[in-house]
Structure 1
Amino acid sequence: MHYIWVQISLVHQVIMFHQGQVVESLAFAGRVEFVAMPWSADITLNDTRVSDAGIYRCVVSNPPETGDPGIDELTLRVLVPPSVPVCLWEGVTNVGGSVTLSCLVVQGVPAPHISWEKLDLDQMILPVIMEGELMGSAKIVNMSAQNSGVYRCTVMNPLGTENCFVNLSVSTAPDSSPGLLQGVLLTLSMALILLALLVLVLWLHRLAQESKWRHGCEVEGHGEIGHTPPLVRRSFV
């Protein structure tokens, strides 16, 4: 008898029995074996992996007979528990803002169910928008202080459950009144400084004018006292 198993999705041989010899593929070495040689073509596959999933074809022939070989196919589905998800968030956490929570899982077969909830006394469940089979997001709009808290994403399938968390803190937008008051006070301060500088300049200008006037008067008086007296004419008899 001649038996051969082939994985169609990867187009390579899994195991073969020919002329009393068993030949295994390197990808399946030590993990695959025939159940009851040489009377059965059934095989056992151990330590299954995600890459093992796919369509398998079995071909049975009986040389030297020339009839058509027996051929059959089956689909192998490898179940995988969900991996630990990754939780992300983006948006504005101020009052009135909007935030999107995202939960991403790398693997899980069957595709895991994804849910979002807020961990408080009421355990509020959030509507989830699926983006493909492995990502689910939830959106919070018009945020208020009540939206602060811890949010949990849960991914689960028949083989297991995993979680990740996001902690949101909603903050109040800063009041613009203190800023406005500071601006007004700063403007008034600058105006007072400019006014003081103007008064100082005018005072210095006035002092300069008075000093110039006094100096002119002193020069004029000195000219009158220091002038040369007229010559006295004498007559001789």
Structure 2
Amino acid sequence: MQMAMMAWRLLWPFVLMGVLSCVALEIHPEESQYYAAEGSDVTMLCQYNDTLDRSGYIIWSFTRFDAYKPPRIFLFGDGRLHLDLDATMKGRVHFAARDALNGDASLTISNVSRSDAMTYICVVKKLPEMEEKKIMTLRVMEPPSQPICNLQEEFARGNNVTLTCLSFHGESPLTYTWSKISGNQVLPANAVVDSVRGTMRLDSIIEQDCGSYLCTVESLVGSKSCELVLPCPDVPEAHMSSALLITISITVVLVILAVSIITAGCLWWSRKKTGQHNFSENVGDVPPPSQWIPKKKEILPSLHYEAKDQTVTMSA
């Protein structure tokens, strides 16, 4: 029995260390690289398991290589807060959570500037045996400016055209994307997009390629967009309604029918007039009806003279 008690006393420190290791501090998430646009707010996460008491302290230290004394923030377990910050950071740095000793020691910096781009270290210490730290870096970048959309060639049926999109300010990497925001909202199958230069080429365009297109330029700290409309002015039939097309077709048929009727009437009248003229000419060559009647033979009077013994009759 005594041997067992002595063994337990010898093993107790190791058991305690194992128990403590099970509840040891663990800072999460593991994200260690942060990007922020100039003038924006950024929160660097330093969250830990809340299984321990409030004893200990939290320290945020900022590694600024151009400063003799790096800025720091101290938060003690009894609630005392000590800010050892320079003039450029005062009033812009604070804990994200209301109670940083309750599992969330994340830090928020408002209206960030280029001078805030440096290495940050979050240290959480609970009891003498437990301490954990997390190292993070902050990169402050210029966001992309409003891009300008343009069309290089004339947009006409069958042509090859190039749509351009360019942001003149913004820190790389910049990525350009194009999308169609009208009609079926699907990019044409013949579209070739250059995500680095911001161009989109359309080969052998057709009426369905007309519409509104949106270009978006995006960086690690923001995005901006511009819109370009392709109205297809040279293909007005693409905008005609079916009713208008039917009306035009009927009108054309009626005009053709009317022209055909008029032409036929003119031909008939011309032939009729020509026939009468020929008849009159033929009639003029024929003697008048009075000349058609054959002349009666004149009966000459018979000359009778008596001879002495015979009678002679002379006829014409």
Structure with larger Rg: 2
Shorter-chain-normalised TM-score: which range? Answer: 0.3 to 0.5
- After TM superposition, the score normalised by the length of structure 1 is 0.43
Q: TM-score with structure 2 length normalisation?
A: 0.34
